[in-house]
């Protein structure tokens, strides 16, 4: 992890409310794992104080860890790598971000947190996204598609749920992605979990999800019924992002707390108290 001033390479609205921000990734930093996140400043020197956490939604470029050991790249030379996150304009922080432009700097701290682990051999990874939870699922879907044959698991299936068709991103969905809307205005009428109950994965499913608590709880019921492993990416307000302040606590069913930033943000979804 490192804090750095990144250069924004593109910022575009991808639906009525969602934005994708892409930025140059320092060559000296490792490739982020799916499920990992960053925090960014979203304002001036004094306000807002709290950095905003976002999961990586994409990463393109060489993995420095896998770089030719004879190469002589140093920090700051760019290396052409690019990372991205998707955000929803909700409050003053995200309104500020939505007003940024390509070429402007962005204060990024990352990569942070523990991401997803690969699915068991022979399983079918099933990825569920609810609303703005689509960011980490897009990145995970891309990586699992690349790694399926080497990892001995089936190609991933991605199902994305939205309130209405207005939120469906206009770009960037992988081939075969299933779109669901709560109001039936596009795709499958119902939630991504509703869709999953009627889907035959063809192999033991391995569940991955990110979305609102109700969806996460519904996914847990599916995982329990199918005996499927369930990796859940959580969302919480954060202050430090590095495990120091205990502000971003996630409550588990046994009443204990874990830090979303340092112990997660990905947890065994069967252990989390979704408040349902």
Partner 1 sequence: MTDLRVRIGELAMPNPVGAASGAFGYGEEYDGLTDLSRLGAIYTKAVTPEPRAGNPVPRLADTPAGMLNSIGLANPGLEAFVRDKLPGLRGRACAVIVNVAGAAEDDYLRVVERLEAEEGVGGYEINVSCPNVAHGGLAFGTDAAVLARLTRRLADAARDGARARAAAGRPDAARRPLIVKLSPNVTDITELARAAEGAGADALSCINTLVGMVIDVKKKSQVLAMGSGGLSGPAIRPVGVAAVYRVSRAVKIPVIGLGGISAADDALQYLLAGARAVQLGTAIFARPEAPAEVLDGIAAFMAREGLSKVEEIAGLLR
Tell me which residues touch partner 1 (CB under 8 A): 1-3, 41, 45-51, 91-93, 107, 109, 236-251, 255-257, 262
Q: In the complex with partner 1, which residue's Cβ is closer, 198 or 255?
A: 255
- Which residues, 6+ apart, have CB-to-CB distance to 104 below 8 Å? 7, 8
Q: In the complex with partner 1, which residue's Cβ is closer, 145 or 239?
A: 239
Q: How far is the CB of 212 from partner 1 (least distance, A)?
A: 14
Q: In the complex with partner 1, which residue's Cβ is closer, 22 or 31?
A: 31
Q: In the complex with partner 1, which residue's Cβ is closer, 93 or 187?
A: 93
Angle, CA 44 vertex, CA 42 and CA 46 arms, to 5° = 110
Q: In the complex with partner 1, which residue's Cβ is closer, 108 or 159?
A: 108
HEC letters along 137-185: HHHHHHHHHHHHHHHCCCCCEEEEEECCHHHCCCCCCCCCCEEEECCCC
- Which residues, 6+ apart, have CB-to-CB distance to 189 below 8 Å? 180, 181, 183
Q: How far is the CB of 138 from partner 1 (least distance, A)?
A: 26
Q: How far is the CB of 250 from partner 1 (least distance, A)?
A: 7
Q: In the complex with partner 1, which residue's Cβ is closer, 70 or 255?
A: 255
Q: How far is the CB of 91 from partner 1 (least distance, A)?
A: 7
Q: How far is the CB of 253 from partner 1 (least distance, A)?
A: 14
What are the two backbone dihedrals, phi and then psi, of residue 209, each rounded to the nearest 5 degrees?
-150, 150
Q: How far is the CB of 237 from partner 1 (least distance, A)?
A: 4
Residue among 62, 99, 56, 68 nearest 80 (CA): 62
Q: In the complex with partner 1, which residue's Cβ is closer, 148 or 239?
A: 239
Q: How far is the CB of 35 from partner 1 (least distance, A)?
A: 20
């Amino acid at each position: 992890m490192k804090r750095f001033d990144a250069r924004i390479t593109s910022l575009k609205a991808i639906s009525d409310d969602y934005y994708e921000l892409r930025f140059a990734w320092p060559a000296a930093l490792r490739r982020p794992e799916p499920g990992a996140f960053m925090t960014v400043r979203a304002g001036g020197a004094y306000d807002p104080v709290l950095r905003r956490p976002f999961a990586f939604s994409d990463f393109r470029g060489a993995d420095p860890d896998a770089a030719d050991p004879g190469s002589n790249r140093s920090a700051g030379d760019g290396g052409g790598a690019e990372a991205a996150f998707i955000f929803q304009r909700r409050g003053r922080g995200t309104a500020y971000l939505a007003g940024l432009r390509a070429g402007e700097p962005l204060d990024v701290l990352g990569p942070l947190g523990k991401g997803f682990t690969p699915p068991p051999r022979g399983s079918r990874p099933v990825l569920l996204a609810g609303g703005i939870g689509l960011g980490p699922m897009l990145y995970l879907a891309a990586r699992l598609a690349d790694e399926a044959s080497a990892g001995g698991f089936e190609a991933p299936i991605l199902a994305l749920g939205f309130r209405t068709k207005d939120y469906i991103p206009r770009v960037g969905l992988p081939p075969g992605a299933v779109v669901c809307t709560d109001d039936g205005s596009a795709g499958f009428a119902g939630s991504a979990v509703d869709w999953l109950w009627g889907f035959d994965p063809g192999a033991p499913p391995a569940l991955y999800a990110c979305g609102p608590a109700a969806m996460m709880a519904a996914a847990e019921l599916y995982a329990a019924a199918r005996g499927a492993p369930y990796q859940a990416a959580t969302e919480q307000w954060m202050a430090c992002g590095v495990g120091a302040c205990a502000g971003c606590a996630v409550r588990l069913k046994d009443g204990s707390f874990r830090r979303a930033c340092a112990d997660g943000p990905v947890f065994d979804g069967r252990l989390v108290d979704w408040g349902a």
